[in-house]
Amino acid sequence: MMPFLLSRALQSLLVLFLVSFVSYALIGLMPGDPIDLMATSDPNMTSEDVARLKALQGLDKPIMERYWHWLVAAVQGDFGYSRLYYKPAEDVLLPAVWNTVKLVGLATVLSLLIAIPVGIIAAVKHKSWVDYFISFSAFIGFSTPAFWLALMLILVFSVTLGWFPAGGTGEAEGGDFLVQLKHLVLPVTSLTVLSVASHSRFVRGTMLEVLRQDYIRTAQAKGASKTRVLFKHALRNAMIPLVTIIALDIGFLLSGALITETVFAWPGMGKLIFDAIMGNDYNLALLGLMVITFTALLGNFIADVAYAKLDPRISLTKGASS
């Protein structure tokens, strides 16, 4: 186990380094910088003021030198200041991380709780009206644009019925738990509907494939009950590819949902990183991308451990045995 952990740790450090280098280079190559943008909006700024501010921010140095200074400081836990918010980058990022965890995390859990039973039912009732209905509903779900669904939810449940607020987090209204929960209903519903559609189709497909295997017919021939065959043999093996999808969901958890967050004015990671990149806020954008990359690596590690738990033939140190 220890060699596996050391190997994954070294791989993760290499990936984080490469992502930070590529991201910094791409952001640094974008036309203009915060000082140029400031100069275009303030006619009183002179060229000397621009040069002095760039020297103060280190923007007059080559991009490789700037990246090296950023990397050394980041290793020491100093991620710099956000140029858009005039605060340390981590102080800006942490509230957005928590907002995204609440939004996307809750939607992911709900979608799995709904999609797994629905997918199992569709597979068991293969080619029945239940299967056709579930498949048709899923087709409509993952064909629906995210922005259109979000707008329809606002139009029906906020504007017409007035049941739920159209956007925001509720913190401005006192931060009460029930108030914040009320603000979560519509964005979580929007993300859950879209996720259930794709997850249920995937569960249905993997369950159908497993139910056709020889060991399932062998278990049935030995007199095992339908419940035991379904949950002990079929579902356990069908969960192995599903773990990959869940791991990807964990990996993209902190990247947020840009469209949903924008429509519902939810201050999460997706919108924050987008604003940081568009505003040339190098420190904030880089820290956000590094957090997303680390989460994706953590999701892959959890998936590897889950594979070994679900299938005894899989070893974390020797691979799959024959």
- Residue 116, in any domain of the structure: yes
Residue 16 has phi, psi (to 5 degrees) of -60, -40
Residue 159 belongs to domain spanning? 90-310
Question: How large is the average pLDDT for residues 193-217?
Answer: 80
Q: Could you tell me the CATH number of the domain that includes residue 304? A: 1.10.3720.10
Does residue 18 share a domain with residue 163?
no
Does residue 96 share a domain with residue 56?
no
- Residue 133, in any domain of the structure: yes
Does residue 82 share a domain with residue 224?
no
Angstrom distance (rounded) from CA 114 to CA 242: 14
Single out the residue of 75, 316, 315, 110 nearest to residue 195, CA to CA: 110
Last residue of a domain, one of 38, 65, 87: 87
Does residue 286 share a domain with residue 256?
yes
- Residue 77, in any domain of the structure: yes
Angstrom distance (rounded) from CA 316 to CA 258: 35
Question: How large is the average pLDDT for residues 61-73?
Answer: 77
Q: Is the pLDDT of residue 318 over 60?
A: no
Please list, in sequence order, all residues whose beta carbon lies within 8 angstroms of the beta carbon of residue 106, skipping any fewer than 6 positions away. 184, 188
Number of domains in the chain: 2
Angstrom distance (rounded) from CA 247 to CA 37: 40
Question: Which amino acid is it at 218?
Answer: T
Span between the terminal Cα atoms of the chain, in Å: 20
Q: Is the pLDDT of residue 106 over 80?
A: yes
Does residue 107 share a domain with residue 227?
yes
The model's confidence at residue 319, banded by pLDDT at 50, 70 and 90, is very low
* Tens digits of residue pLDDT in 149-179: 888 888 888 888 888 887 776 665 555 677 7
* Tens digits of residue pLDDT in 236-270: 777 777 777 777 676 666 665 777 887 887 888 87
Q: Is the pLDDT of residue 210 over 70?
A: yes
CA distances from 230 to 28, 94, 118, 234, 246 (A): 54, 43, 14, 5, 21
- Residue 318, in any domain of the structure: no
Q: Is the pLDDT of residue 182 over 60?
A: yes
Q: Is the pLDDT of residue 192 over 80?
A: yes
The model's confidence at residue 37, banded by pLDDT at 50, 70 and 90, is low
Does residue 112 share a domain with residue 80?
no
Query: How many other β-carbons are positioned within 10 Å of the β-carbon of residue 68?
Result: 13
Give the pLDDT confidence score for residue 254 in this predicted structure. Answer: 62
Does residue 260 share a domain with residue 121?
yes
Query: What's the whole-number average pLDDT of the chain?
Result: 76
Phi/psi region, residue 201 (left: phi>0; alpha: psi -120 to 50; beta: rest), is alpha
The model's confidence at residue 290, banded by pLDDT at 50, 70 and 90, is confident
